[in-house]
Amino acid sequence: MGTSGRAPAVEAQKVDPGQCSADDKACITGWYKEYSAAILDEFRYYAGQEDFLADMLAEPQATLLNAKLSLLLVEGGLKYDQWTLLDDDGAAKNAGLDMARYHAIIGPCREAISQMRTALFDLRQRPEKVHAEAAQYLKNAAICEKAFALAAKPSKLRSKPRAASPDPAGSRPMEITPAKPQP
Protein backbone atom coordinates (compact mmCIF):
# COMPACT_ATOMS: atom_id res chain seq x y z
CA MET A 1 0.00 0.00 0.00
CA GLY A 2 1.51 3.37 -1.03
CA THR A 3 1.12 6.71 0.61
CA SER A 4 -1.23 9.23 -0.86
CA GLY A 5 0.42 12.37 0.50
CA ARG A 6 -2.51 13.06 2.82
CA ALA A 7 -2.20 13.49 6.55
CA PRO A 8 -2.19 10.17 8.41
CA ALA A 9 -5.48 8.93 9.81
CA VAL A 10 -6.13 9.35 13.50
CA GLU A 11 -4.73 6.49 15.53
CA ALA A 12 -7.42 3.96 16.35
CA GLN A 13 -8.94 4.06 19.78
CA LYS A 14 -8.17 0.79 21.58
CA VAL A 15 -10.98 0.93 24.15
CA ASP A 16 -14.43 1.78 22.82
CA PRO A 17 -16.62 2.91 25.69
CA GLY A 18 -19.65 1.73 23.72
CA GLN A 19 -18.41 -1.82 24.30
CA CYS A 20 -18.15 -1.32 28.07
CA SER A 21 -21.08 -2.33 30.23
CA ALA A 22 -22.05 0.23 32.87
CA ASP A 23 -20.61 -1.98 35.63
CA ASP A 24 -17.38 -2.99 33.84
CA LYS A 25 -14.89 -1.03 35.93
CA ALA A 26 -11.82 -2.38 34.09
CA CYS A 27 -13.20 -1.44 30.66
CA ILE A 28 -14.23 2.06 31.78
CA THR A 29 -10.95 2.80 33.56
CA GLY A 30 -9.08 1.44 30.52
CA TRP A 31 -11.04 3.83 28.31
CA TYR A 32 -10.39 6.74 30.68
CA LYS A 33 -6.63 6.12 30.86
CA GLU A 34 -6.29 5.91 27.09
CA TYR A 35 -8.69 8.77 26.33
CA SER A 36 -7.42 11.22 28.95
CA ALA A 37 -3.76 10.62 27.99
CA ALA A 38 -4.56 11.28 24.31
CA ILE A 39 -6.68 14.37 25.02
CA LEU A 40 -4.08 15.85 27.38
CA ASP A 41 -1.35 15.30 24.76
CA GLU A 42 -3.45 17.14 22.17
CA PHE A 43 -4.30 19.84 24.71
CA ARG A 44 -0.58 20.44 25.34
CA TYR A 45 0.11 20.57 21.60
CA TYR A 46 -2.59 23.16 20.97
CA ALA A 47 -1.67 25.14 24.11
CA GLY A 48 1.78 25.37 22.50
CA GLN A 49 0.18 27.40 19.70
CA GLU A 50 -0.84 30.29 21.98
CA ASP A 51 2.11 32.53 21.11
CA PHE A 52 1.58 31.96 17.40
CA LEU A 53 -2.11 32.86 17.68
CA ALA A 54 -1.27 36.01 19.67
CA ASP A 55 1.38 37.01 17.10
CA MET A 56 -1.04 36.54 14.21
CA LEU A 57 -3.72 38.55 16.00
CA ALA A 58 -1.24 41.37 16.58
CA GLU A 59 0.39 41.30 13.14
CA PRO A 60 -1.10 38.92 10.56
CA GLN A 61 1.33 37.40 8.06
CA ALA A 62 -0.38 35.36 5.36
CA THR A 63 2.66 33.32 4.29
CA LEU A 64 3.55 32.32 7.85
CA LEU A 65 -0.08 31.58 8.63
CA ASN A 66 -0.47 29.31 5.59
CA ALA A 67 2.68 27.41 6.52
CA LYS A 68 1.49 26.94 10.12
CA LEU A 69 -1.97 25.79 9.03
CA SER A 70 -0.40 23.24 6.69
CA LEU A 71 1.70 21.98 9.59
CA LEU A 72 -1.38 21.76 11.83
CA LEU A 73 -3.08 19.56 9.27
CA VAL A 74 -0.20 17.09 9.61
CA GLU A 75 0.84 17.46 13.26
CA GLY A 76 -2.32 18.59 15.00
CA GLY A 77 -4.30 15.85 16.63
CA LEU A 78 -7.93 15.08 15.98
CA LYS A 79 -8.59 12.49 18.67
CA TYR A 80 -10.61 15.08 20.58
CA ASP A 81 -13.02 15.12 17.66
CA GLN A 82 -12.91 11.55 16.37
CA TRP A 83 -12.48 9.33 19.41
CA THR A 84 -15.56 8.11 21.24
CA LEU A 85 -16.09 9.47 24.71
CA LEU A 86 -17.95 7.92 27.59
CA ASP A 87 -20.90 10.17 28.30
CA ASP A 88 -22.33 8.29 31.26
CA ASP A 89 -21.87 9.88 34.68
CA GLY A 90 -23.27 6.84 36.47
CA ALA A 91 -20.85 4.41 34.81
CA ALA A 92 -17.93 6.80 35.40
CA LYS A 93 -18.85 7.18 39.06
CA ASN A 94 -19.35 3.41 39.50
CA ALA A 95 -15.91 2.81 37.99
CA GLY A 96 -14.40 5.12 40.60
CA LEU A 97 -13.24 7.81 38.19
CA ASP A 98 -12.35 11.21 39.61
CA MET A 99 -15.50 12.99 38.50
CA ALA A 100 -13.96 16.47 38.30
CA ARG A 101 -11.27 15.17 35.96
CA TYR A 102 -13.76 13.05 34.02
CA HIS A 103 -15.97 16.08 33.40
CA ALA A 104 -12.93 18.21 32.48
CA ILE A 105 -11.59 15.69 29.96
CA ILE A 106 -14.93 15.21 28.17
CA GLY A 107 -15.80 18.92 28.42
CA PRO A 108 -13.41 21.86 28.79
CA CYS A 109 -10.22 20.02 27.74
CA ARG A 110 -11.82 18.81 24.50
CA GLU A 111 -13.43 22.20 23.94
CA ALA A 112 -10.15 24.05 24.46
CA ILE A 113 -8.51 21.93 21.76
CA SER A 114 -11.39 22.54 19.38
CA GLN A 115 -11.46 26.28 20.09
CA MET A 116 -7.71 26.74 19.55
CA ARG A 117 -7.84 24.79 16.30
CA THR A 118 -10.88 26.77 15.15
CA ALA A 119 -9.27 30.08 16.10
CA LEU A 120 -6.11 29.22 14.15
CA PHE A 121 -8.03 28.31 11.01
CA ASP A 122 -10.36 31.28 11.44
CA LEU A 123 -7.35 33.63 11.29
CA ARG A 124 -7.64 33.09 7.55
CA GLN A 125 -11.32 32.26 7.11
CA ARG A 126 -13.20 34.37 9.70
CA PRO A 127 -10.74 36.74 11.41
CA GLU A 128 -13.55 38.72 13.04
CA LYS A 129 -14.36 35.68 15.23
CA VAL A 130 -10.86 34.89 16.46
CA HIS A 131 -10.76 37.18 19.50
CA ALA A 132 -13.94 35.62 20.95
CA GLU A 133 -12.70 32.09 20.14
CA ALA A 134 -9.37 32.81 21.82
CA ALA A 135 -11.13 34.13 24.92
CA GLN A 136 -13.31 31.02 25.15
CA TYR A 137 -10.22 28.83 24.58
CA LEU A 138 -8.45 30.53 27.51
CA LYS A 139 -11.47 29.98 29.76
CA ASN A 140 -11.66 26.26 28.96
CA ALA A 141 -7.88 25.85 29.05
CA ALA A 142 -7.79 27.26 32.58
CA ILE A 143 -10.48 24.79 33.71
CA CYS A 144 -8.59 21.88 32.12
CA GLU A 145 -5.27 22.96 33.65
CA LYS A 146 -6.84 23.32 37.09
CA ALA A 147 -8.53 19.90 36.94
CA PHE A 148 -5.29 18.15 36.00
CA ALA A 149 -2.93 20.41 37.98
CA LEU A 150 -1.15 21.42 34.78
CA ALA A 151 1.04 24.49 34.97
CA ALA A 152 -0.15 27.15 32.55
CA LYS A 153 2.75 28.02 30.31
CA PRO A 154 3.25 31.78 30.10
CA SER A 155 2.28 33.00 26.67
CA LYS A 156 1.54 36.18 24.78
CA LEU A 157 -2.09 35.13 24.47
CA ARG A 158 -2.47 34.81 28.24
CA SER A 159 -0.71 38.05 29.11
CA LYS A 160 -3.19 40.84 29.47
CA PRO A 161 -2.36 44.13 27.78
CA ARG A 162 -1.94 46.84 30.35
CA ALA A 163 -4.97 49.04 30.50
CA ALA A 164 -4.53 52.77 30.41
CA SER A 165 -4.55 54.32 33.83
CA PRO A 166 -8.01 55.69 34.66
CA ASP A 167 -6.32 58.61 36.41
CA PRO A 168 -4.04 60.39 33.99
CA ALA A 169 -2.49 62.48 36.79
CA GLY A 170 0.94 61.15 35.96
CA SER A 171 0.68 62.67 32.49
CA ARG A 172 0.02 66.26 33.54
CA PRO A 173 1.98 68.67 35.74
CA MET A 174 1.27 68.47 39.42
CA GLU A 175 -0.65 71.45 40.75
CA ILE A 176 0.76 72.98 43.87
CA THR A 177 -1.37 75.44 45.78
CA PRO A 178 0.05 77.42 48.65
CA ALA A 179 -1.41 76.91 52.05
CA LYS A 180 -3.25 79.74 53.70
CA PRO A 181 -0.82 82.27 55.11
CA GLN A 182 -0.38 81.97 58.85
CA PRO A 183 -0.92 85.19 60.86
Question: What predicted TM-score, i.e. pTM, was given to this entire model?
Answer: 0.80
Residue 90: exposure state from Cβ atoms within 10 A (0-12, 13-18, ≥19): exposed
Residue 87 phi, psi (nearest 5): -115, 60
pLDDT tens digits along 10-27: 788 899 999 999 899 999
> What integer pLDDT is reported at residue 36 of this predicted model?
96
Average pLDDT of 83-112? 95
C-alpha dist (Å) from residue 147 to 41, 48, 92, 106, 128 = 15, 19, 16, 12, 31
126-180 pLDDT per residue, tens? 999 999 999 999 999 999 999 999 998 899 999 865 333 344 444 444 444 445 5
Higher model confidence: residue 112 or residue 82?
112
pLDDT at position 74 over 90: no
What was the pLDDT predicted at 174? 40
The CA distance from 116 to 77, in Å, is 12
Instruction: Give the pLDDT of residue 73.
Output: 83
Quick one: which of 147, 148, 12, 7 has its CA closest to 79?
Answer: 12
Radius of gyration of the chain (CA): 24
What pLDDT score was predicted for residue 11?
83
Mean pLDDT (the chain) is: 84
Q: Kindly provide the b/e burial profile for residues 171-183, where b requires at least 16 CB atoms within 10 angstroms of the residue's own CB.
A: eeeeeeeeeeeee
